[in-house]
Amino acid sequence: MYCEKVPVAEIADAVGTPFYVYSYRTFERHFRVFNDAFKKIPHITCYSCKANESSAILRMTARFGGGADIVSGGELYKALHAGIPANRIVFSGAGKTGEELRSAIRAKILMINIESEGELQAVSRLARTLKRDVPVSIRVNPEIDPRTHPYITTGLKKNKFGVLWEDAQRLYREIKKERFLAPVGISSHIGSQILELTPFVEAVRSLKSMIRQLKGDGITVRMVDIGGGLGITYKDELPPHPEEYAGVMEKELEGMGLMLILEPGRVLVGNSGVFITKLLYIKKIPGKTFYIVDGAMNDLVRPAFYGAYHEIMPVKKGRGDTIKVDIVGPVCESGDFFAKDRPIASVKDGELLAVLGAGAYGFSMSSNYNARRRVAEVLVKDREFYVIRKRETLRDLTRGESVPPFLKA
């Protein structure tokens, strides 16, 4: 298996296992295909940092002209640090702290997507104290079922995200009265890994009708933020092509003079990266074979957390015979698996396996559970590879900790 022109095994020799490897060219292509699809309408592609907030990925985004969708002060820091212009950054999230809001206002980001009445009050207070004009939008909950995994739907009535329309309308009126707040946009995000266009069309239609009602109240927004959520192929899914997605958006927004804000994450980075792990042991019990690998749920939690499917294949072509195995990690949880009863070309211990589609919500959701060091990340461009994050050292595992004096004697 190669990443661009580099044999994956060569990277493994250099950095050890497990690790993530990303392709520059793939990310670039995904970004451009997505962004260019919308070229007929004014838009900003605000890459959703949470999918993968490695500084090298953020820098690539900045270079390709993208903005950022952030959900924390940490992501704001990283996005700015990577050179993403503040006026291309939107801030979502149900629980922004005063400190996070203050730094976003100071940085002069494009807009803050407000998700509750309490947050609106916090933003108003800060705007008055700082005497800064703050561009805001309300993230409305369009009450749409995107028909995806329940953990990643966000626009249903029962979800914690966004504000129901009847409340949002009232909040817009309050914003209008505030001297330092400017209602510049309206936003929504209905979920993730969405495989049909209909939910997006329904969402943008309801945003359009809300925009019309706001006009009636004398409030003119100029930006409509449709969120992220376009799905990708992990197994045999057939997600809409970005051009189809752009086509329907274009049709819906024609003549409205709005700036479209997009917050794609997974669709840009998901299939730009794979996770490489080494087979440690083959363990057989009656009726089952386990491939025990050196990567685990702390490194890539999607299978354990969502029962997500990731294609897994040997880095070196298998010898032909296919066997059915459970691919599991060393973490002390039965949920620590990458695949169950999965047919795979049989390999020997010591060989490498690639877990595909791991570029989004892979490293960014990783942890130190079981005092496992967070893994290395590598970026490949053409014939070269670059370590963009070193594997953590043992010392990193105690960094920031301290032991009270009475325990030291």
Task: Provide, rounded to whole angstroms, the least separation between the CB of residue 266 and ligand LLP.
Answer: 4
Site residues, ligand LLP (CB under 6 A) = 48, 51, 69, 92, 152, 154, 189, 192-193, 227-230, 263-267, 302, 306, 360-361
Where are the alpha helices (H) located in 21-137, listed in sequence order?
Answer: 24-37, 55-63, 73-81, 98-107, 117-130
| 195 versus 387: smaller Cβ distance to ligand LLP | 195
Question: In 3D, which of 121, 120, 119, 91 has the Cα closest to residue 106?
Answer: 91
**Identity at 288, one-letter amino acid code:** K
Alpha carbon distance 383, 385 (integer Å): 7
Token pair recorded at residue 154: 């966000």
| 18 versus 229: smaller Cβ distance to ligand LLP | 229
Report the alpha-carbon angle 193-199-200, nearest 5. 85
Task: Provide, rounded to whole angstroms, the least separation between the CB of residue 384 and ligand LLP.
Answer: 28
Token pair recorded at residue 317: 């072509």
Task: Using DSSP bridges, classify how beta strands 181-187 and 6-7 pair: parallel, antiparallel or unpaired.
Answer: unpaired
Task: Provide, rounded to whole angstroms, the least separation between the CB of residue 293 and ligand LLP.
Answer: 20
| 365 versus 387: smaller Cβ distance to ligand LLP | 365
Alpha carbon distance 136, 185 (integer Å): 7
| 249 versus 279: smaller Cβ distance to ligand LLP | 249
> Which residues lie below 8 Å from residue 118, measured CB to CB, with a gap of 6+?
none
Task: Provide, rounded to whole angstroms, the least separation between the CB of residue 360 and ligand LLP.
Answer: 6
* CB atoms near residue 108 (< 10 Å): 14
Question: In 3D, which of 16, 24, 31 has the Cα closest to residue 262?
Answer: 31
| 67 versus 314: smaller Cβ distance to ligand LLP | 67
| 165 versus 363: smaller Cβ distance to ligand LLP | 363
Convert 302-339 to b/e letters by CB count within 10 Å (16 or more is b).
bbbeeebbbbbbbbbeeeeeeeebbbbbbbeeeebbbb
Task: Provide, rounded to whole angstroms, the least separation between the CB of residue 137 and ligand LLP.
Answer: 12
Task: Provide, rounded to whole angstroms, the least separation between the CB of residue 15 and ligand LLP.
Answer: 24
Question: Which of 3, 46, 49, 332 is flagged as catalytic?
Answer: 332
Q: Is 332 considered catalytic here? A: yes
Catalytic residues: 332
